[in-house]
Amino acid sequence: MATVTDRPPPARHRLPGTPWRRSPAPLFLAAAWAGGVGVLALWWRDTGTVVGTADWLTGAGRITGLLCGYMCALLVGLMARVPWLESRVGTDRATRWHASAGRWTIALLLAHIVLIVLGYAAQAHTGVLRQLGTVVFDLPEMLKATAGAVILLAVGVTSARAARRRMRYETWYHLHLLTYAAVFLAFAHQLALGADFVSAPPARAAWYTLYLCVACLVLYYRVLTPARLNLRHRIRVEAVVPEAPGVYSVWLRGRRLDRLGARPGQFLRWRFLTSGMWNAAHPYSLSAVPRDDLMRITVKGLGDHSAAVAALRPGTRVWAEGPYGALTAARRSRRKVLMIAGGTGITPLRTLFETLPAAPGDLTLLYRARTPEELALRGELEAIAARRGARLVYVLNGRDGTRARITADRLRAVLPDIDRHDVYLCGPRGLSLAAYDALRDAGVPTSRIHHESFEL
């Protein structure tokens, strides 16, 4: 055991995702960019000589509209929770891609609206507001498209970090689902008014195929797959057990849970079908390897939903989706492994600590907490360490409350050959950033620092 003190330094680096050399991320991004190039080629093929301000504005409005339509398809595809993408690329990276795609979609949507209205106004020699009314009320499919645009803009505003911090997760979650409605409402006007589709049946067929494939992904992975999982396993709450102040383990009983396909380090999204907890799915990691009839999650009360976990009653039905996540043994590339956990970041690392193949002395877990009382699952971790010949290091605040600090020098003191380790890192964002900086300073390459976060 160890106690480390001092204040944490400011974070200097961005947390890593799945190492690119073992990730399909480059392939996925290449395909996405290729699709964008295809959209540009479609626009270029159907664009003749551009003369005058009106043509320039209208042409720019067309290309931003086409790109916005393409980004809408990508945006919804990233919401489909395709297991291959979430487990190979990582949920955190897929989430960042989704957020980035959302920002680009909103920017392209605004540009499309402004440029098209200005271009049409210049062609008709009318005022901008009058032309806007003509576009909305007189052109086919535009009333639905306008409603879709308003919804999409509202989702974009509420998805901004500052706005999200001021609303409940459940409110944000349900507003975010309106993206599906926005894309559905806007789809018809793309084909009815898009000059690139009106006289080009192959382009129309390709556009229909793109959106149909995305719709099938959403239907299969967001509706049919979870329904099959829950009908098969029939999960209910077995018991709720306190582990540390504000931290509770929920034991879940079901059928053939060992066939769930969840690997150590992964998480599922959970709905507890009881008042106040059924209307949104929250991600919680498994804190024990599933058995045939039992599995466990461990939750810290940080919000309304997680705090309510303590009051769950035995027999409560549970709806689960997953498993998801790439913080698994598949990321490992070295014989020696260090795990750094803080808060409920211990949850996925506890399962890895128990199952990751390692010879005695090759596995170390560094667990950060403010006080000994906050060390959730402590007894289990110590039993695992003793059984496997692994090292367990506690990083606690000083007796006077001085905040613990993880530095490169102190990491080297614990593990002189730390630069030869793979590192699994899971905890609050501040701790993860500080630990990442210390690891980089200690000589651990980014490709061997494995981290995953649920935060957007």
pLDDT at 25 over 90: no
Where does CATH 1.20.120 sit in the chain? 20-229
pLDDT of residue 16: 57
> Under DSSP, is residue 3 helix (H, G, I), strand (E, B) or coil?
strand
Cβ-proximal residues to 125 (8 Å cutoff; 6+ apart), any chain = none
Which distant-in-sequence residues (6+ apart) come within 8 Å of 31 by Cβ?
Answer: none
Residue-wise over 94-111: b if at least 16 C-beta within 10 A, else e? bbbbbeebbeebbebbeb
- Place 11 in a pLDDT band, splitting at 50, 70 and 90: very low
Q: What is the mean pLDDT of residues 423-437?
A: 90
Q: Which residue has the tokens 């001092």?
A: 6
Q: pLDDT by residue (tens digit) across 120-178?
A: 999 888 999 999 999 999 888 899 999 999 999 988 888 877 777 777 777 777 788 88
- Residue 107 pLDDT exceeds 70: yes
The pLDDT of residue 30: 84
Query: Under CATH, what is the fold of the domain 234-324?
Result: Elongation Factor Tu (Ef-tu); domain 3 (2.40.30)
- Using the structure block, give the residue that is written with the tokens 């949507």: 109
**pLDDT, average across residues 36-41:** 85
Q: Render pLDDT for 48-106 as a digit per residue (tens, 0 to 9).
A: 666 788 888 988 898 999 999 999 999 899 888 888 777 777 777 788 888 888 899 99
Q: How far apart are CA 331 and CA 447, in angstroms?
A: 9
Q: How far apart are CA 203 and CA 42, in angstroms?
A: 8
Higher pLDDT, 456 or 199: 199
Q: Where in the chain is the domain with CATH 2.40.30.10?
A: 234-324
Q: What share of the chain in percent tops pLDDT 90?
A: 50
Model confidence at 15, in pLDDT bands (50, 70, 90)?
A: low
Q: How high is the pLDDT of residue 19?
A: 54
CB 152, CB 182: distance < 8 Å: yes
The listed CATH number (1.20.1260, 1.10.3470, 3.40.1310, 1.20.120) that belongs to domain 20-229: 1.20.120
Residue 4 has pLDDT above 70, yes or no: no
Report the pLDDT value the prediction gives residue 357, as an integer from 0 to 100. Answer: 93
C-alpha 342/C-alpha 347 separation (Å) is: 9
Q: Is the pLDDT of residue 10 over 70?
A: no
pLDDT over 70 percentage in the chain: 92
3 versus 192: the higher-pLDDT residue is 192
375-384 long-range CB contacts below 8 Å, 24 or more apart?
375/244, 376/243, 376/244, 376/247, 376/298, 376/300, 376/344, 376/346, 377/243, 377/249, 377/287, 377/298, 377/346, 377/350, 380/350, 381/346, 381/350, 381/353, 384/350, 384/353, 384/354
Mean pLDDT over 229-240 rounds to 95
Longest alpha-carbon distance in the chain? 82
For domain 2-13+328-451, give its CATH number from 3.40.50.80, 3.40.640.10, 2.60.410.10, 3.30.465.10. Answer: 3.40.50.80
Q: What is the pLDDT of residues 140-151, one digit of tens each?
A: 889 999 999 999
Q: How far apart are CA 128 and CA 122, in angstroms?
A: 9
Task: Name the pLDDT band for 38 (thresholds 50, 70, 90).
Answer: confident
| Contact between 260 and 245 (Cβ < 8 Å) | no
Query: ∠ CA 93-94-98 to the nearest 5 degrees?
Result: 115
pLDDT at 334 over 80: yes
- Residue 456 pLDDT exceeds 80: no
pLDDT above 70 for 455: no
d(CA 154, CA 156): 5
DSSP symbol at 10: P
> Which of 111-120, 349-358, 425-434 shows the lowest mean pLDDT across its residues?
425-434
